[in-house]
């Protein structure tokens, strides 16, 4: 295992130590110990920039299950390194923020940082794994760890609800994604993403191409909260603010973005990819921004804002697929450039805004903008951070969001120039709807800022007397806000080291054809349509914000009972009720009903397979002759069976059942298996004795006649089992294509184990471990029974006292 593998797994390893640090080192906040690792990892990954910026990649493999093609393969290129830097960089700031946000006296910090470190490892594994199975394992670990983080305050009903909803939706998408990976494996005979890219023509020619694409996109859409799967993200805001800032603005929700970007070289050649991602992204962009204006909770506004911004990035990746088709990939690569640049910008301004919202909640006791107001003079630093973040989110200069928003408008305008698919009819909808969504983005950004910090201060509606946060809680959002401004004035500090290598990973044709991207981001492009669109957003957005009270009541049209959340709740309740009804229908409490299910299933499956495979065969050439003793004993067993079924008393039934068992032991004697005969005699004696001991405590046998239908069901099941088992026995002895295993034991029992008794040799030598485990199970059961009897005896003695 190389150092890069250890770097990925190191947070997971540290997670085992954190509970002990929290328990035994109580003077120091546990977060200070945790903070060291993400800083070291960020430093480690940032040293790799010289590799990717020079067009090279890093590949390292650790064997896991090589026979199945599953190895822990790490592949570092521009795209994966960008995400690794976001995960560790934002992670460092979030841990620092959490030290001052979470009290070491009131919170279970051991659990919190254990979950956070698990999530960090999971995200690093997702973005750095080349093997699709390993990627899937880390992908599901993100779902599990985020479930634990969202439900961290598990005593709150809303926290449990949000955690469960996120787990159900994202795990559903993950399973669909796994199905897509399996289809790719069936095509390429490899789980490697790089190998799949190299076999692009083979994948395109396969009938599994479109199904694999749709399944993988389901995984991406559910994880990145795309329409209509976005409903889990707002409810996930019940998590502590450090979790929201980390998972739901910078990392986890961008895992789906990463998946789409990573598989673009494989699937972007298809028009289905372009239309699916573009339409879903466009609808998500508009839907999220439109509903963000409706919210009154700071984190709810930011949640719907995140949905909208993720839709925007997804839309740009969809439009960027044109760069693979057109002759000028650098021209159409503007959409990919906008997606990568906005992904970075979104992490900075949205991370700072979540932290600012957490500060407001922490220092005032509420996040409701209807109760807030007038905080600008009381919390000037938080106000400045929020101003920078909201203006960047609204796409205003001089903040980095303006630059990526301009690039976004550029890609929307150029969509009409795409020639590989017919967008002439629908092409105008993309820029129009994108521009309208940007207007709503401007409105909710202004709501978040001015309704919180301007207006009259309502001290009586606040749970706490507001004041500025401690400096430790302010440092992380200040750093992010500083990056927001820095990336506007010096945008090209990331162009060649981060953005260009990431684009090359998404659109490799630009490298193969020699037309390497020349990324140059500028704040001023002259009086272009993009600028007029921005001016229009500001003008109409300002009017919309100032007249908000007049048109905001239109949201009352959208009743909650018609929402996707209500549909989810009704579906969940319906499934739960349906499962109860189904379970109660077959869990009757009667053993005879369960035997009907088991034997009926056996008849259908085994009999059906034999019929379908035409496996019925009856050959008696190699069968031994049947002697007089076998016939007599068989007739005795048949008579005993009939007597057991039709016995009118339990004593008669027990005796007849014992006759069957003892007769079977005689068969073993005839077939020269004395060990089995002795075992059968002992078991049968014990069974009959136990039956007779219990006979006194059993209720009196009812002789009431059963319905004909019930008897007929029993008769059919019994007859079916007998026929199927008999046919299976004849077929198995009539179609032996290989030597039986008994031949091996006959030849090797004495030679390898030194014993003539084959049964003993099998149990002691050939199946020694199996026998040992069986004895162990019996010993454990005996200890359990002894413990129960001892406990019962103590209770009786206590009752007598």
Write the pLDDT tens digit of every residue in 340-381. Answer: 999 999 999 999 999 999 999 999 989 999 999 999 999 999
Give which of 48, 36, 42, 113 is closest to 79, Cα–Cα.
Answer: 48
Length of the chain: 801
What is the DSSP annotation of 491-544?
GGGTIIIIIHHHHHHH-THHHHTT--------S---S-HHHHHHHHHHHHHHHH
Residue 232 lies in a domain: no
Residues 6+ apart with CB under 8 A from 472: 96, 99, 100
| Helix (H/G/I), strand (E/B), else coil: 62 | strand
Residue 312 and residue 396 in one domain: yes
pLDDT at position 710: 56
pTM score, whole prediction: 0.81
Residue 323 and residue 452 in one domain: yes
Question: What phi and psi values does residue 60 have, to the nearest 5 degrees?
Answer: -145, 140
Task: Examine residue 380 and say whether the peptide bond preceding it is cis (omega within 30 degrees of 0).
Answer: no
Residue 125 lies in a domain: no
pLDDT tens track for 114-158: 999 999 999 999 999 999 999 999 999 999 999 999 999 999 999
CA distance 536 to 584: 61
Residue 394 and residue 481 in one domain: yes
pLDDT at position 232: 93
Residue 275 and residue 411 in one domain: yes
Residue 395 and residue 272 in one domain: yes
Strand partners, 105: none
pLDDT at position 559: 78
Give which of 452, 249, 244, 247 is closest to 366, Cα–Cα.
Answer: 452
| 163-to-308, 565, 579 alpha-carbon distances in Å | 21, 14, 22
Give which of 98, 96, 107 is closest to 22, Cα–Cα.
Answer: 107
Domain boundary among 737, 754, 789: 737
Residue 629 and residue 767 in one domain: no
Question: Lowest-pLDDT range, 274-288, 626-640, 786-800?
Answer: 786-800
Token pair recorded at residue 538 = 């500001």
The number of domains in the chain is 3
Domain boundary among 714, 737, 760: 737
Residue 511 and residue 655 in one domain: no
pLDDT at position 328: 57
Residue 707 and residue 756 in one domain: no
Residue 728 and residue 773 in one domain: no
pLDDT at position 590: 84
Residue 513 and residue 389 in one domain: yes
CA distance 690 to 48: 73
Residue 532 lies in a domain: yes
pLDDT at position 701: 59
In the predicted model, what is the mean pLDDT of the chain?
A: 88
pLDDT at position 700: 66
pLDDT at position 671: 85
CA distance 332 to 264: 14
User: Between 553 and 702, whose confidence is greater?
Assistant: 553
| 375-to-321, 383, 384, 453, 519 alpha-carbon distances in Å | 45, 8, 11, 4, 41
Residue 286 lies in a domain: yes
Give which of 260, 241, 257 is closest to 299, Cα–Cα.
Answer: 241
Residues 6+ apart with CB under 8 A from 587: none
The DSSP symbol for 75 reads E
Over 50: is that where the pLDDT of 174 sits?
A: yes
Residue 19 lies in a domain: no
Residue 54 lies in a domain: no
pLDDT at position 513: 40
CA distance 482 to 489: 11
Question: Lowest-pLDDT range, 266-280, 384-398, 473-487, 705-719?
Answer: 705-719
Residue 506 and residue 538 in one domain: yes
Q: What angle do CA 208, 212, 214 make, to 5 degrees?
A: 125
pLDDT tens track for 425-438: 677 788 999 999 99
CB 379 within 8 A of CB 363: yes
Residues 6+ apart with CB under 8 A from 131: 69, 70, 71, 72, 73, 191, 192, 193
pLDDT tens track for 204-261: 999 999 999 999 999 999 999 999 999 999 999 989 999 999 987 778 899 999 999 9
Over 70: is that where the pLDDT of 511 sits?
A: no
Range of the domain at 786: 742-801
CB 720 within 8 A of CB 603: yes
Query: Quick one: pLDDT band at residue 515, thresholds 50, 70, 90?
Result: very low
% of residues, the chain, pLDDT over 90 = 53
Residue 249 lies in a domain: no
pLDDT tens track for 642-700: 888 777 777 888 888 889 889 999 988 888 888 788 888 998 888 888 888 887 677 66
Residue 213 lies in a domain: no
Residue 790 and residue 696 in one domain: no
Domain boundary among 488, 519, 546: 546
User: Between 621 and 346, whose confidence is greater?
Assistant: 346
């Amino acid at each position: 295992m190389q150092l890069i593998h250890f770097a990925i797994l190191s947070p997971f390893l540290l997670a085992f130590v954190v509970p002990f640090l929290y328990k035994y080192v109580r003077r120091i906040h546990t977060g200070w110990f945790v903070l060291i690792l993400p800083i070291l990892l960020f430093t480690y990954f940032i040293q790799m920039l010289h590799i990717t910026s020079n067009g090279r990649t890093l590949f390292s493999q650790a064997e896991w299950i090589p026979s199945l093609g599953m190895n822990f393969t790490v592949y570092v290129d521009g795209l994966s390194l960008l995400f690794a830097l976001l995960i560790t960089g934002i992670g460092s700031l979030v841990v620092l923020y959490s030290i001052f946000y979470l009290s070491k006296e009131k919170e279970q910090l051991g659990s919190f940082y254990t979950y956070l470190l698990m999530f960090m490892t999971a995200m690093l594994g997702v973005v750095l794994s080349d093997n699709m199975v390993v990627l899937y394992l880390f992908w599901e670990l993100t779902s599990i760890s985020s479930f634990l983080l969202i439900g961290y305050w598990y005593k709150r009903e809303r926290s449990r609800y949000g955690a469960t909803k996120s787990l159900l939706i994202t795990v559903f998408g993950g399973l669909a994604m796994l199905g897509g990976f399996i289809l790719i494996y069936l095509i390429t005979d490899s789980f490697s993403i790089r190998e799949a890219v190299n076999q692009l023509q083979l994948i395109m020619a396969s009938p599994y191409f479109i199904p694999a694409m749709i399944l993988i996109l389901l995984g991406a859409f559910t994880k990145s909260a795309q329409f209509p799967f976005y409903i889990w993200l707002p409810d996930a805001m019940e998590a502590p603010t450090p979790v929201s800032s980390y998972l739901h603005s910078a990392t986890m929700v961008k895992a789906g973005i990463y998946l789409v970007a990573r598989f673009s070289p494989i699937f972007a050649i298809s028009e289905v990819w372009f239309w699916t991602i573009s339409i879903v992204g466009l609808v998500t962009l508009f839907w999220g921004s439109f509903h963000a204006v409706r919210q009154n909770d700071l984190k709810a506004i930011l949640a719907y804002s995140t949905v909208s911004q993720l839709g925007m990035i997804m839309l740009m990746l969809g439009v960027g697929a044109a760069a693979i088709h057109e002759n000028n990939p650098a021209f159409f690569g503007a959409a990919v450039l906008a997606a990568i640049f906005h992904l970075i910008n979104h992490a900075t301004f949205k991370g700072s805004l979540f932290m600012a919202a957490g500060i407001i909640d922490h220092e005032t006791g509420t996040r409701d903008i209807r109760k807030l107001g007038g905080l600008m003079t009381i919390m000037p630093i938080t106000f400045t951070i929020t101003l920078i973040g909201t203006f960047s989110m609204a796409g205003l200069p001089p903040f980095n969001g303006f630059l990526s928003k301009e690039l976004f408008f550029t890609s929307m305008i150029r969509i009409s120039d795409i020639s590989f698919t017919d967008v002439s009819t629908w092409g105008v909808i993309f820029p129009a709807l994108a521009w309208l969504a940007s207007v709503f983005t401007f409105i909710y950004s202004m709501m978040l800022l001015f309704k919180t910090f301007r207006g009259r201060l309502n001290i009586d509606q606040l749970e706490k007397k507001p004041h500025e946060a401690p400096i430790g809680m302010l440092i992380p959002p200040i750093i992010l806000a500083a990056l927001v401004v820095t990336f506007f004035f010096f945008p090209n500090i990331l162009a060649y080291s981060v953005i260009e290598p990431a684009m090359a990973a998404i659109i490799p044709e630009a490298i193969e054809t020699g037309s390497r991207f020349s990324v140059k981001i500028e704040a001023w492009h002259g009086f272009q349509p993009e600028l007029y669109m921005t001016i229009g957003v500001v003008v109409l957005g300002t009017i919309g914000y100032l007249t908000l009270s007049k048109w905001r009541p239109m949201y009352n049209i959208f009743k909650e009972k018609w929402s996707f959340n209500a549909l989810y709740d009704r579906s969940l309740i319906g499934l739960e009720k349906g499962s109860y009804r189904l379970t109660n229908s077959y869990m009757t409490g009667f053993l005879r009903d369960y035997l009907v299910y088991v034997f009926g299933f056996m008849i259908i499956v085994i009999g059906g397979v034999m019929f379908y495979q035409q496996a019925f065969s009856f050959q008696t050439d190699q069968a031994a002759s049947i002697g007089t003793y076998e016939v007599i004993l068989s007739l005795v067993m048949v008579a005993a069976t009939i007597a057991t079924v039709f016995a009118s008393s339990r004593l008669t039934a027990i005796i007849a059942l014992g006759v069957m068992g003892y007769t079977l032991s005689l068969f073993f004697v005839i077939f020269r298996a004395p060990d089995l005969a002795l075992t059968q005699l002992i078991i049968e004696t014990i069974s009959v004795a136990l039956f007779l001991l219990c006979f006194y405590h059993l209720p009196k046998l009812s002789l009431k006649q059963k319905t004909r239908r019930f008897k007929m069901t029993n008769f059919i099941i019994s007859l079916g089992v007998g026929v199927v088992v008999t046919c299976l026995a004849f077929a198995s002895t009539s179609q032996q294509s290989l030597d039986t295993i008994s031949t091996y034991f006959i030849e090797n029992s004495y030679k390898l184990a030194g014993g003539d008794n084959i049964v003993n040799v099998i149990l002691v030598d050939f199946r020694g471990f199996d026998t040992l485990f069986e004895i162990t199970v019996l010993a454990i059961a005996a200890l359990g029974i002894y413990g129960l009897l001892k406990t019962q005896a103590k209770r009786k003695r206590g009752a007598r006292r």
